[in-house]
Amino acid sequence: MTYSVKEIFYTLQGEGAQAGRAAVFCRFAGCNLWSGREADRAKAVCQFCDTDFVGTDGEGGGKFETAQALARAIDGAWMADRARTDSPDRKSGRKFVVITGGEPLLQLDPDLLREIKARGFEIAIETNGTIAAPAGIDWICVSPKGGSQLVQTSGQELKLVYPQPQANPCAFEHLAFQHFFLQPMDGPDRDRNTQLAASYCLENPRWRVSLQSHKLMGIP
């Protein structure tokens, strides 16, 4: 299998329960809810995506012919960035990779999971939940999209961009997740959406607010 990857980079996870944790992000190209082209946005199931996942021209991106080659690139991103620091504790902490997209489950397969695990990584995934996740993923974060059929109904984290038509938070509360987050929808109404998310969480304490802290910090 050839893997199409938009970008691979080292940063801090900015969202959800793992916010602030150092991670390699591997962003696959392609999605099943939007083509990524602005001309198609109005007709897409997901119309609010703020991520560029088209093509393979980002930092560290490309076409990877084997699972071993892609796993090496992920490991290289972790090691290369950490090698540039003189901190005496730079070798502490488990390797952590976030597999994202687009929709990563269009491409993530058992071979790649096995190769990444062999290099000592804890593996997280960020998915829209329309495709069942294979075994071997340590942290599953599902972000449901209104108007789509949710297939992956269990995991560690459910992160709902809020507000969304056809995606009321109460419709997901029965699902088997450890953490439930509302993330204010970005865009021109972000301040209003943040207030709406905060108000909902105050009234429904099972839910917590997730902010896109990487944007606040000015990092990828």
Of the candidates 7, 75, 115, 126, the residue annotated as catalytic is 126
Peptide bond into 163 cis (omega under 30): yes
31 is catalytic: yes
Of the candidates 15, 26, 46, 201, the residue annotated as catalytic is 46
Of the candidates 7, 26, 28, 49, the residue annotated as catalytic is 49
Rounded CA-CA distance 86/91 in Å is 11
50 is catalytic: yes
75 is catalytic: no
Of the candidates 9, 11, 51, 66, the residue annotated as catalytic is 51
51 is catalytic: yes
179 is catalytic: no
Of the candidates 25, 53, 96, 177, the residue annotated as catalytic is 25
Of the candidates 31, 141, 177, 180, the residue annotated as catalytic is 31
Phi and psi torsions of 116, nearest 5°: -70, -40
In terms of phi and psi (left: phi > 0; alpha: psi -120 to 50; beta: otherwise), the region of 187 is left
Burial, 17: exposed, middle or buried (Cβ in 10 Å; 0-12, 13-18, 19+)?
Answer: middle
Of the candidates 2, 40, 50, 57, the residue annotated as catalytic is 50
25 is catalytic: yes
Positions marked active-site:
25, 31, 46, 49-51, 126, 214
